Structures are given as structure tokens and as C-alpha cells.
Amino acid sequence: MSDISKLISFINGASVGIYGIVLSAGFCNILWTRKKRLLMATCGAGLLLIQGIVVTLADMEMVRYIYPVITHVPLAIVLCFFSRNCLWSFVSVFASYLCCQLRRWLALLIVAIFSGDVLMQNIAELLITFPLMLLLLQFVAPAVRSISYYPKSVQCQFGLIPMLDYGFDYLTRVYTDLLSRGIPVVVEFMFFTCSIIYLMSVCHTSEENRARSRLQQAQDYLNLQMTQAVREIEALRQSQHQASTYRHDLRHHMQYLLACIENGCLEQAKEYIHTIDAEIEAQRIVAYCENEAANLILSAFVGRAEGCGITMEIKVQIPRIISVSESDLCVLLSNGLENALHACQRLKNKELPCSIKVSAYEQNGKFFLQIINSCDGDVTFENGIPVTNNPGHGLGVKSICTLVERYRGICNFAVKDGKFILRVSL
């Protein structure tokens, strides 16, 4: 090898040392102060000096053999001192070593295209090193650093491929010639490893998506519970306002009745009493069944339906204590009836007849609910679930499906003869 070739090889070795040291430090989550930067630069220069001494006393082949001892292990120890995270310090070193494969493969590609030699490979690696390092520091290092905040198990998963690549490269290419000899089990090892890790990643990603879906369902359920709570508070506010109005008007009612009695208008007084009694009775919670929560919800929706001129038929036999929690029962009834009421209101706006029929009962520890309401027949289904593109709509159906899934029950949505039918079994 000529002197120029040796010089370029030496410079290339120094450049890859700088490349690895800077990337390892960039991958570590360290709050870099001026003092830490100076210390890191001093340690890096010391590692490069040791490499230069070994090259001067021995040769590059010796440097390759003892490189882990004179560079990688000391570098990981230094990073551990700065970051206080020994596991991630070693992972950072392994990851930077893996990134060295990028520059080497790109250089080999250039050599293959131009039919070059070792000198061309060294020159290509030298030219590629620093632009590639800057790109990795700018776009990759922040993402790598963020993983250091994850649990140790996730850090180990991330470091698995770099660690295997490190061990495989040294065992088959530096300390032995197993790879160059083309032994099938050695050549196929990294492909096997990538396949295993890919399958593990698929399973892990699938599990994360399921967990994210469960969290989203729980969030939707909580949002709907909050909406229902706000609706009930509004109903209580209206009831309180109505009661306040009655208290305020009570004196006027009594004065009117007193005047009727004093003037001998007893029939007029009776008629007035019947009128006031009917108004008060209209605000009373109707006992459709033994369950108080169901009575509250049903009474509220019957009042809203009557106010819109919609007929609502209730046939329920819900005991005081059932297998479904009170909050879930309120969510189920409220969302089912809300959807039915909205569908009927659209028909009412078109001056078409509409009605709602509700039936529910519990038998053998199972709760059954059926809501049938008039609809215009324009309902889109996906996988048996009604869907809509209107913003703010569709959450009620999602809530019902989430609740049914949580109870491992059954729900069915259907449209038949101009009627939308919801059936739920929990």
C-alpha cells in the first residue's frame, strides 16, 4: 500500500472515530453545558489519540481487534458519567456503530458502480462521513433521544438490533472470516434476526393499537357520561326554575281562589284548581317501573317528545336492582332515546307521522332493551353499525357499542318498514 493510501486510510479511520463519538453523544439524552462539551471533546480527543498511538506502534488490523476496548467501552463509560443512564449509554454506542454501516454500504455501492478499489472506498467513506453525520444529528438523533425516557424494557427492545449487529459484525467479520467464507447459517443470521424482530414489532404494534383503542373507547364513554350529567343538571335546573315559579305564583293563585270563594264562584275555583293540578302533574316523575334511574330518564324524554308532538309508548319492567350499573343504564337509555328523538324530529320537520316505542325487561340476570322509532330510511351501515358524516353525531352509537362490548353483550341495529330498531342484550 502506497504512502498516500496509508494516509487516506488513517484519515478515514480518524473520521469514523469522530463520526461514532459525536453520534453516540448525540443519541444520549444529556443536558449539554459548556463544561460538559469541553470534557466530551477532551475525552473524544483522548480516544482518538489512543487509536493513533496503537496504529503507530502496531497497525490498523490491531486497532480493529481492540477497538471495543480502547474506544467503545470507554466512550460508553464517559456517556454514562454524563447522562447517569448506563443502559442507554451502551445503547447509544451500539446505535452509532449501526449507523456506521450506512457510510460503509454507501461507499461499497460507489465502488461497485465505478469498479473501484480499497482506495476509492476509503475516499468515498471519507467524503460521505460528515454530511451523513449532520443529517443523522438533525433528523434522527432527537427521535432516538426521546426513547431514553421510555421504560427500560422499551430501551432494551430498541437496542436489540444495534447490539446484535455489533456482535455479529465483530464475530463474523473482525475476529473471524465466517461471513466472507459464505457459511449459510452465518449469512442468513441477520435476515433471521430481522424477521423475528419484525414479527415482534407487529405484535407489539398491534397490542399498542388495541390499548389505544380501549383508551379511546373509555374516553368516549367518559365524554358521553359527562354529556349525560350536563343534560341531567340542566333538567334539574329547569325543574328548580319551575318550582321557583310555582312558589312565586302561589300567592297569586291563593288570592285568585280567595276572590272566587268570596264571590261565590265555586265552580270557577274548582276548575282553576284542576288546571293548576294538571300543570303540576305534568312535571311529576312517572313511575314506569321499579327502577328510579330509568323512571327519571324516561320521564325526561317523554316530556321532550310530547313537547315536540311526538308519540312515545313505554312498556318497561326494570327492577330496582339489575345487573347493569345505574350509570351504564342511564347512558344506554339516554343515547338510545336521544338518537330516536333526533330521527323523529327530522320527520316532524317534514310534517310526517312519527313515534317511539320503548320496551325493556330483565330476565335470568340478563337485561334486554328495544327502541323502535320512525325514520326516513336513509341510514348508512358499516359492519352492521349505523354511521354518519355529520359532525357531533354518531357518538351515541359508539357509546352503546362500547358499553355492550364491556358487558360482553349483543347489540343489533336494523331498519325495517320505515322503522329504526335498536336491540341490546347485556
> Which residues are bridge partners to 422 per DSSP?
371, 413
Contacts of 401 (CB under 8 A, 6+ apart): 385, 411
Say what angle helices 292-307 and 189-262 make with each other, to 10 degrees.
Answer: 70
Specify whether 342 is located in the same domain as 423. Answer: yes
Please give the average per-residue pLDDT across 150-162, as a whole number: 87
Give the three cell numbers for residue 2. Answer: 502506497
**For residues 59 and 68, is the Cβ–Cβ distance under 8 A?**
no
CA-closest candidate to residue 342, choices 413, 400, 394 = 394
Give the three cell numbers for residue 97. Answer: 456503530
Q: Which CATH number fits the domain that encloses residue 322?
A: 3.30.565.10
Specify whether 263 is located in the same domain as 343. Answer: no
Rounded to whole angstroms, the Cα distance separating 295 from 330 reads 10
Predicted structure pTM score? 0.57
Last residue of a domain, one of 268, 284, 300: 284
Confidence of residue 141 (pLDDT cuts 50, 70, 90): very high
What pLDDT sits at residue 196? 85
Rounded to whole angstroms, the Cα distance separating 334 from 224 reads 10
Specify whether 364 is located in the same domain as 404. Answer: yes
What pLDDT sits at residue 28? 93
Specify whether 87 is located in the same domain as 222. Answer: no
Is residue 282 predicted with pLDDT exceeding 60? no
**For residues 356 and 339, is the Cβ–Cβ distance under 8 A?**
no
What pLDDT sits at residue 77? 93
**For residues 68 and 54, is the Cβ–Cβ distance under 8 A?**
no
Specify whether 299 is located in the same domain as 174. Answer: no
Specify whether 374 is located in the same domain as 308. Answer: yes
What pLDDT sits at residue 235? 62
Please give the average per-residue pLDDT across 394-404, as a whole number: 79
Last residue of a domain, one of 120, 153, 180: 180
φ and ψ of 354, to 5 deg: -155, 155
Q: What average pLDDT does the chain have?
A: 84
Rounded to whole angstroms, the Cα distance separating 140 from 255 reads 83
Specify whether 49 is located in the same domain as 162. Answer: yes
Specify whether 31 is located in the same domain as 150. Answer: yes
Neighbours of 255 (CB within 10 A): 10
What pLDDT sits at residue 99? 92
Question: Of 139-148, 204-213, 318-327, 376-385, which has the strongest mean pLDDT?
Answer: 139-148
What pLDDT sits at residue 52? 82
3 state DSSP class of 180: coil
Confidence of residue 304 (pLDDT cuts 50, 70, 90): confident
Confidence of residue 334 (pLDDT cuts 50, 70, 90): confident
Please give the average per-residue pLDDT across 4-9, as a whole number: 85
Last residue of a domain, one of 180, 213, 247: 180
Confidence of residue 238 (pLDDT cuts 50, 70, 90): low
Rounded to whole angstroms, the Cα distance separating 144 from 23 reads 11
Please give the average per-residue pLDDT across 190-195, as a whole number: 83
Please give the average per-residue pLDDT across 174-188, as a whole number: 86
Does residue 275 or residue 291 have the better pLDDT?
291
Structural domain for 95, as ranges: 3-180
Specify whether 297 is located in the same domain as 417. Answer: yes
Specify whether 11 is located in the same domain as 150. Answer: yes
Specify whether 121 is located in the same domain as 217. Answer: no
Q: Domains in the chain: how many in total? A: 3
In angstroms and rounded to an integer, the radius of gyration of the C-alpha atoms of the chain is 38
Is residue 313 predicted with pLDDT exceeding 60? yes
CA distances from 291 to 308, 326, 408 (A): 26, 9, 23
Using CA atoms of 192, 194, 198, 204 in order, give the dihedral in degrees to the nearest 10.
Answer: 100
Using CA atoms of 367, 372, 378, 381 in order, give the dihedral in degrees to the nearest 10.
Answer: 10
Q: Is the CA virtual torsion 153, 159, 164, 167 positive or negative?
A: negative
Give the pLDDT confidence of 73-123 residue by residue, as tens digits.
999 999 999 998 999 999 999 999 999 999 999 999 999 998 888 889 999
Specify whether 387 is located in the same domain as 345. Answer: yes
CA 248 to chain centre: 53
3 state DSSP class of 67: helix
